[in-house]
Amino acid sequence: MNYSELIQAYFERSVALQWYWTIYVIVIGGVGGFSTLRQRPEIVTAILVTILFAGFAYKNLGAIVATAEERQAILLAIKDYPVSGSNAADIKRVRDKLEPKMPEYDVGGAQYFHVACALLTIAFMWAKEWQRRKPEMPPLTGAK
């Protein structure tokens, strides 16, 4: 791979990483909306949605970690790319401007955040389920 192909691969992995996070946020919103709009308490549905969401979150986290590790490997290849040959001046100029703007990805922090969001989503879903099970209180009427 030449230097420009490495740069292109880095940004392709960055876009893929962003898409995994976008899909995760959309699914969290869908689970939240589903939990909020349901009228009747149904324990089987709540268990099924919990299992499906947990499975999705697990696979999504795996994709995020794998993509982030690929991105990190490409970043290391970019930084180790030799500046030589006929286009050495161009590579050096691009490297000086671009590489400082290419941060390393905090995979551990992303994992903790992802798991925390998944647990909060499941907790929200079950809180809404338990709220539906609570008997409604009669409306307050003016006491005389």
Q: What CATH number should be reported for the domain holding residue 57?
A: 1.10.132
In a domain, 113, yes or no: yes
**Is residue 112 scored above 60 in pLDDT?**
yes
Q: Give 136's DSSP letter.
A: P
CA distances from 123 to 22, 32, 130 (A): 21, 10, 10
> CA-to-CA distance for 144 and 128, rounded, in angstroms?
35
Task: Tell me whether residue 142 is in a domain.
Answer: no
Give me 116's structure tokens.
């925390």
Report yes or no on 16 lying in a domain.
Answer: yes
CB 107 within 8 A of CB 39: no
* Residue 138 domain flag: no
Q: Is 18 a member of any domain?
A: yes
Q: What is the pLDDT of residue 44?
A: 93
Band (102; pLDDT cuts 50, 70, 90)? confident
Burial class, 12, CB count within 10 angstroms (exposed 0-12 / middle 13-18 / buried 19+): middle
8/59 Cα distance (integer angstroms): 26
| Mean pLDDT for all residues in the chain | 90
Q: Coil, helix or strand for 96?
A: helix
Q: How many domains does the chain have?
A: 1
Rounded distance between C-alpha atoms, residue 47 and residue 42, angstroms? 9
Where in the sequence is the domain holding 28, given as residue range(s)? Answer: 3-133
Q: Is residue 143 part of a domain?
A: no
Query: What are phi and psi for residue 10, nearest 5 degrees?
Result: -60, -50
Q: What is the pLDDT of residues 115-133, one digit of tens each?
A: 999 999 999 999 999 988 7
| 139 occurs within a structural domain | no
Of all residues in the chain, the percent with pLDDT exceeding 90 is: 63
| Chain segment 46-61, per-residue pLDDT in tens | 999 999 999 999 999 9
The stretch 18-24 carries a mean pLDDT of: 98
* Within a domain: 140: no
Residue 27 has what pLDDT? 98
